[in-house]
């Protein structure tokens, strides 16, 4: 990841609640579910190597386990591109972390180094292909040297390949956010946004609210450019599917195009047969495609409105029917961002008047 998107995830996992959900729901470390959120503590993730070059892990937490204050250091590495050398990087990070603990005299006399949980959080489109263990990147050692080679391992959370059924089974905030990012528009709007709206109404922790809202702003900025996140999330009151579209608006527009294409083919063929001429067929197909595209966009507009506000009242249905064909795409965007059905209808007068 990079830029604001990277920062958005760092802000999410700066909260122990979401770190705990990530580890207990999306890794084999389910034993952490028995620990209270208060057991998680942030640690300074900056280390300096031999040549004074600062090394920055994305996030580091430690977890108190039991009365003996046994710490487990959790390294979170955020990646949107595949790093072939990730296992080697983790080996370096763990070494620097241990070196830092020793230099700062964090270990009691006679105590051993703490256990480390290295975790890579990856959200790239291509499945992760890098080795999960450093030993897989080292040539076979001669006899007697095998046990002396580095063998650092790390856990991987490949967000784009998470099991949809597992996401449906978890009702946690993090699962909702993952579902929001991985779902198509027509599946995410009715269910996930309503659940997030309810979460915002109930949660009392203002820092966590701000971090989630900032993350949502990044997602909405990619999916629906120019639309305020408050209108999409807080003004909204499924099942997972494989992601096919770059943005939600692309999803709605493509549905309209596909419907329009089929209608256009049918109408064009009928007009062409009636004319009985090649020229008539071509003109008929073009006319049919244009009308069919408009009908497809009108159908997509209805789906957006129903997904956000429920069934269309007769008055709203009439407004949709009166919208000029060349204005339908603008209305799809408008319907996706309107704070309420009434606000959408209030802005309909000019278009409806123009249609008449």
Burial status of residue 17 (CB atoms within 10 A of its CB: 0-12, 13-18, 19 or more): middle
Coil, helix or strand at residue 83? coil
Q: What is the pTM of this model?
A: 0.64
What's residue 283's pLDDT?
A: 57
20-32 average pLDDT score:
91
225-248 average pLDDT score:
50
pLDDT band at 20 (very low <50, low <70, confident <90, very high): very high
170-184 average pLDDT score:
83
Using alpha carbons, list the distances in angstroms from residue 120 to 50, 78, 117: 25, 6, 10
Report residue 289 CA to chain centroid gap. Answer: 35
Percent of the chain at pLDDT above 70?
Answer: 66
The rounded distance, in Å, linking the Cα atoms of 223 and 185 is 9
Picking from 53-62, 177-186, 235-244, which range would have the lowest pLDDT averaged per residue?
A: 235-244
The rounded distance, in Å, linking the Cα atoms of 308 and 338 is 9
Q: Average pLDDT, whole number, for the chain?
A: 75
What six digits make up the tokens of 43?
Answer: 């640690």
Does residue 248 contact residue 224 with C-beta atoms inside 8 Å? yes
271 versus 296: the higher-pLDDT residue is: 296
Coil, helix or strand at residue 18? helix
Q: Catalogue the E-assigned strands of 177-307.
A: none
What six digits make up the tokens of 75?
Answer: 């390294």
Q: Which tens digit of pLDDT belongs to each residue from 290-330?
A: 666 778 778 878 877 877 787 888 888 888 888 888 888 88
Q: Which residues of 257-271 are buried (b: 16+ CB within 10 A; e: fewer)?
A: bebbeebbeebbeeb
Q: Which tens digit of pLDDT belongs to each residue from 41-85?
A: 988 766 655 444 555 547 888 888 775 655 677 766 667 788 999
pLDDT band at 351 (very low <50, low <70, confident <90, very high): very low
What's residue 189's pLDDT?
A: 56
Does residue 220 contact residue 249 with C-beta atoms inside 8 Å? no
Domain positions in the chain are: 3-161, 166-233, 248-355
Going by the DSSP 8-state scheme, the letter that residue 133 receives in this structure is: B
* Interstrand relation of 70-79 and 46-48 (parallel, antiparallel or unpaired): unpaired
Q: Phi, psi (5° rounding) for residue 259?
A: -65, -45
134-151 average pLDDT score:
92
What's residue 279's pLDDT?
A: 55
What's residue 260's pLDDT?
A: 52
């Amino acid at each position: 990841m990079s830029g604001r998107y990277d920062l958005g995830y760092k802000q999410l996992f700066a909260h122990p609640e979401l770190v705990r959900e990530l580890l207990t729901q999306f890794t084999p470390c389910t034993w952490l579910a028995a620990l209270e959120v208060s057991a998680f503590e942030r640690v300074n993730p900056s280390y300096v190597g031999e040549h004074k070059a600062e090394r920055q892990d994305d996030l580091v937490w430690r977890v108190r386990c039991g009365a003996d204050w046994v710490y487990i250091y959790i390294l979170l590495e955020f990646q949107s591109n595949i790093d072939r050398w990730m296992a080697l990087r983790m080996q370096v990070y763990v070494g620097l972390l241990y070196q830092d603990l020793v230099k700062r005299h964090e270990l009691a006399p006679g105590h051993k180094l703490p256990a480390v949980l290295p975790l890579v959080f990856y959200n790239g489109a291509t499945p992760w292909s890098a080795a999960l263990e450093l030993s897989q990147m080292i040539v076979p050692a001669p006899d007697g040297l095998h046990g002396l080679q580095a063998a650092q391992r790390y856990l991987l959370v490949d967000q784009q390949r998470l099991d949809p059924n597992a996401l449906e089974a978890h009702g946690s905030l993090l699962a909702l956010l993952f579902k929001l990012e991985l779902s198509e528009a027509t599946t995410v709007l009715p269910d996930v946004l309503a659940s997030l709206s309810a979460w915002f109404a109930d949660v009392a922790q203002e820092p966590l609210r701000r971090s989630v809202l900032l993350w949502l702003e990044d997602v909405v900025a990619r999916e629906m450019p120019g639309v305020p996140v408050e209108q999409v999330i807080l003004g909204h009151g499924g099942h997972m599917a494989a992601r096919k579209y770059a943005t939600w608006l692309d999803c709605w527009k493509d549905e309209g195009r596909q419907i329009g294409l089929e209608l256009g083919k049918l109408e064009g063929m009928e007009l062409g047969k009636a004319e009985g001429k090649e020229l008539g067929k071509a003109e008929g197909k073009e006319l049919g495609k244009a009308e069919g595209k408009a009908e497809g966009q009108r159908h997509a507009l209805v789906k957006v409105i129903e997904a956000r506000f429920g069934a269309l009242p007769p008055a709203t249905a009439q407004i949709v029917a009166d919208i000029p064909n060349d204005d339908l795409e603008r209305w799809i965007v408008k319907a996706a961002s309107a704070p309420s059905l009434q606000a959408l209808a209030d802005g309909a007068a000019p278009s409806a008047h123009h249609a008449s």
